[in-house]
Structure 1
Amino acid sequence: MPLHPNREVFITCAVTGAGDTTGRSDKVPVTPAEIAASAVEAARAGAAVAHIHVRDPDTGKPSRDPALYRDVVERVAAYGVDVVLNLTAGMGGDLVLGSAEQPLPLSVDGTDMVGAEERLLHIAELRPEICTLDCGSMNFGEGDYVMTNTPAMLKAMAVRIRELGVRPEIEVFDSGHLVLAKWLKAQGLIDDPVMLQLCMGIPWGAPDDIQTLMAMVANLPPDWTFSAFSIGRNQLPYAAMAILAGGNVRVGLEDNIWLDKGVLATNGALVERAIKIAEAMGSRILSPADVRERLKLERRW
C-alpha cells in the first residue's frame, strides 16, 4: 500500500481521561478549574480540539456529573481562547463482574450502567461541537471490567446525538468496532462528514503495530476523516504513524503521562512535541477554524 501522508493535520489533546493516572503524575488535571486550564494550555500550544472527561474533584475518580462538565466548559469559554470542545459520552457503560468464579452479582465498585439518555445528559445540556461514541464493547485490563456498548445502545445514542446536532467522534478500539461504525452509517444514523478515532494499543483491542494500523486504515471509507493514537511510550511515535497513514493526531495525558524518559509531561508539552513532529514531516497544523470548516461544525462558545 503506498503511503499518502497527511499534509494538513489537526491535533486533538485528550486532557485527563478516566484512567488511574492521577496517582502517578501530579500534572494530570482533576478539578474543573485544572481541566479547563489544561485544555486552554493545549489550545495555546496548537491543539485544535480538546477532548474532555471530568473527575470528582475530591477523589480524582472519573465522573459523568453534568454540573462538572458545565463548569469546565464555562471556564474554557471565559479564557477567550478558541478551541473545539469534544466531550466524552463514554461514561455509563462500565460493567465489572463479581469474580471469575462468581460473576454475579456485579461488583458495585466500578459498575456504572445507565441508559442512552442518561449517558448523554451533559451533551443535551451543553451541545458541544463534538462528542464521542465508543463503537463497541471490549475487555479492559486484566480483571473483570468490560466496556459495554451494545448495538442497540449505539443505535439509541447515535439517534440522540444526531437529534442534538452534535458531531460524533466514533471511537474504534478494534476492527469489529469499525464494522459497527459502518453499520450505523448505512442506517443513516451518522451524518457526513464522518469523524473517526482509531484507538490503538489498548489491551485487549487492536495492537499498535504498523500492520494493524494500516489494515484498519485500508478498511476506512475514503471520505471519512480519522485520527489515530496509541498509549504510553508509543503515543509520540504514533504522531508520525498517524500522519504517514493519512490521518490526524491525538496526544494528551489521558493516554500518556511521559514527555521523555523520567520526565512527566503536561498537555501543552505533548501538543508542542506533536506539532514539532508534524511540521518536521512537512505538514501544516490546522486551526480550530480549519477543523470547523472541514467537519462542518458550528462554534458554540
Structure 2
Amino acid sequence: MADPRKVIVSCALTGAIHTPSMSPHLPVTPAQIIAEGRRAVEAGAAILHLHARNSDTGAPDQSVAAFQAILPALKETGAVINITTGGSPYMTVEERTAPARHFAPELASLNMGSMNFGLYPMLARYRDLSQAWEREHLEKSRSLVFRNSFADIATILNTVGAGGTRFECECYDIGHLYTLHHMIAGEGLTPPFFVQSVFGLLGGIGAHAEDVQMMRRTADRLFGDRYLWSVLGAGAHQLPLAAMSAAMGGHIRVGLEDSLWAGPGRMARSSAEQVAAVASILSGVGHVMATPDEARDMLGLKGDDQVNF
C-alpha cells in the first residue's frame, strides 16, 4: 500500500475581517493569539498565518511592535510562521509590509490582485457591534477596492523577498492566477509556488464546486508540477471546501480569520477545533497532516534559524 499523502494545514488565527463583537472566541490580545497558536499546532497545523490586533480595541494592528509581542512565543511551537502582508485593506503597502520586512519570516502572504472586498453584508447578521470602528470597518467596504497593483506586488516581492522569505500567493479569482504567472516571468519567482485559492468572499470567486475545479484546472495549466495548491473556504464554506481540496490532492487553510464556525449553527471556540475537524477529514480519506518540517521541505523554506525573531 502506498504511503499516505501529506497535507499542509495552515491556520489563520485572527485576521482583519471579523471583529471582536462577532465572537467571544476571536483572539485579540498577544496572550490570546499565542494561546490560539499553540492549540492549533497541537491539533496538527504546520503553518500559523499571523495578523496582530490592538489589545484595547481589537482593531487590526500592523505595527512591528504588535508582532514583536507574539512572534517569539509562536516560534517556540516549531510551526512555520507566515506573516501577513495583506494587513487590512484600508492600510498602505508600506504599513502592510512593515512586519514582514522587519522580521524576515520563512513565509509571508501576498495578495495577487486588486479587488472589491465586500464585508458590509455582515452588518445584517451582526447588529450588536460594541465599538464604532467595527461598524465603520464593515460599512466602508461598500466602496472599498483592496489595492494590490502590479507595482505593489513587485514591491512586496522585492522588499520582503530580499530576506529569503517565500510567499503564500493568495488568489481570490482566476485573474489572480494569471497575475502570478506574469510575475513569475517578470520578477524571477522560483518554484515551488504556494498558491492559496480563496473562495466565497464577496468580490472574488464564489464557493461552488465548479469554481474550485476551475481554479484547480487553471493553476495546473499555468504552473504544472511547479506549485502546491491550497484551498481557503470563507465562512460556512470552510470545511466543505477543505474536504474537496483533500479529495483533489490539495492542501488546506482554516482558522478564525476565515470562518467563525465549526459546523452548521455551531460557533468555533478555537481555531484548533477547525484544525481537528480537518484532521478527521484527512484521516477519512487516508491522508495525514504534514509536520512543520515536512511543510518546510515541500515549500522550499529557509528554516526558522534564519528569521529575525
The aligned runs of 1:109-148 (5 Å cut-off) are 111-115=90-94, 118-141=95-118, 142=120, 143-148=142-147
**SS state at 1:291 partner:** helix
Name the structure 1 match of 2:125. none
Following superposition, the deviation at residue 162 of structure 1 comes to: 2.2
Deviation at 1:114, TM superposition (A): 4.2
Letter in 2 for 1:158: L
Amino acid at match of 1:112: M
Q: What CA distance in whole angstroms lies between the structure 2 residues aligned with 1:91 and 1:10?
A: 23
**Pair 1:279 & 2:277 matched:** no
Cα deviation code 1:75-105 (max 9, x no counterpart): 223xx3211111100126x3xxxxxxxxxxx
Counterpart AA for 1:277: I
Distance in structure 1 (CA, Å) of the matches to 2:32 and 2:9: 20
| Matched residue SS, 1:203 | coil
| Coordinate RMSD, CA, aligned | 1.5
Contact 2:235 2:259 in 1 (8 A): yes
Structure 1 unaligned segments of length 5 or more: list them. 1-5, 95-110
8 Å contact from structure 1 (residues 132, 170) kept in 2: yes
Secondary structure of the residue aligned to 2:21 is coil
Matches of 1:262 and 1:213, distance apart in 2: 24
Name the residue aligned to 1:86. 82
Which residue number in structure 1 is paired with residue 138 of structure 2? none
CA distance in 1, matches of 2:196, 2:165: 16
Q: Indicate the residue corresponding to 1:225 in structure 2.
A: 228
> What amino acid sits opposite 2:202 in the alignment?
P
Find 1:293's aligned residue among 291, 297, 300: 297
- What do residues 230-279 of structure 1 show as CA deviations (whole Å, max 9, x unaligned)? 11111011111111222101111011111133432111111000110111
Residue type matched to 1:134 in 2? N
Contact 1:161 1:168 in 2 (8 A): no
CA contact (8 A) 1:14 1:252 kept: yes
3-state SS of paired residue (1:131): strand
Which residue, 261, 270, 273 being the options, matches 2:274? 270
1:90 & 1:237 partners in 2: Cα distance?
Answer: 25
Confirm or deny: 8 A CA contact 1:194 1:225 kept in the other structure: yes
Tell whether the 8 Å contact from 1:195 to 1:226 is kept in structure 2 after alignment: yes
Q: Is the 8 A contact 2:50 2:82 kept in 1?
A: yes
Give the TM-score, by structure 2 length.
Answer: 0.85
SS of residue in 2 equivalent to 1:293: helix
Give the corresponding residue for 2:191: 192
Deviation at 1:210, TM superposition (A): 1.2
- Aligned residue pair count: 275
Deviations 1:183-229 (A, max 9, x none): 11112432221111000111111111111111111111122111101
Q: Classify the secondary structure of the residue corresponding to 2:213.
A: helix
CA distance in 1, matches of 2:249, 2:85: 26
Percent of pairs with identical residues: 32
TM-score (ref. length: structure 1): 0.87
Which AA in structure 2 matches 1:274?
V
Residue by residue, what CA displacement relative to the aligned partner does 1:98-153 show, whole Å, maximum 9, x if unpaired? xxxxxxxxxxxxx43344xx432211221111001101011111511111111111
| Structure 1: distance between partners of 2:92 and 2:294 | 37
Q: Which has the higher helix share?
A: 2
| AA at the equivalent of 1:61 | A
- Unaligned 5+ runs, structure 2: 121-141
Does residue 1:247 correspond to 2:237, yes or no? no
The Cα of 1:168 is off from its aligned counterpart by: 0.9
Q: Matched residues in 2 for 1:176 and 1:261: separation?
A: 32
